[in-house]
Amino acid sequence: MSSLATLRVLRARTACTPGRSFHSTPLRREHFLKANVETFTKAISNKDKVVLVDFYADWCNPCKMLSPILESVTSDPNVKSGSGLPLDLVTIDTDNEIELAQQYNIRSLPTVLAFKDGQPAHRFVGALPEAQVRAWLRAV
């Protein structure tokens, strides 16, 4: 059998049958904790996800209350943004990334920005309870 004939047989054997169904796994959610500028820039450029960016400081008590809520919500595979996209989380320590905080006009902590297609789309300031964070995400 010639190599061309062998390739045709192999292709025919591995071809998809009409009844075969396909599925895909959901996009994996990622948490980039204490991100630097490079990690932040790479994370927000993802067009298949909404990226929540939590601007915080270690000394900020409301930040300490909000962080576990954001980590929990973004880890839940059933929670999506209002646009149906999965969520990633980036945390930025404003004491270490001062220029980044200034660039996004962060005046109070915690401040959470939602990025879509690399651009800030929504924000909230202050420690919200989980129910309000989930409601906010439905608007994103």
Active site residues: 60, 63
Return the residue matching tokens 């591995």. Answer: 14
Amino acid at 127: A
The helix (run of H) or strand (run of E) holding residue 89 is strand 87-93
CB burial string 33-72: b at 16+ within 10 A, e below: eebeeeebeebbebeebbbbbbbbeeebeebeebbebbee
CA gap 32, 35 in Å, rounded: 6
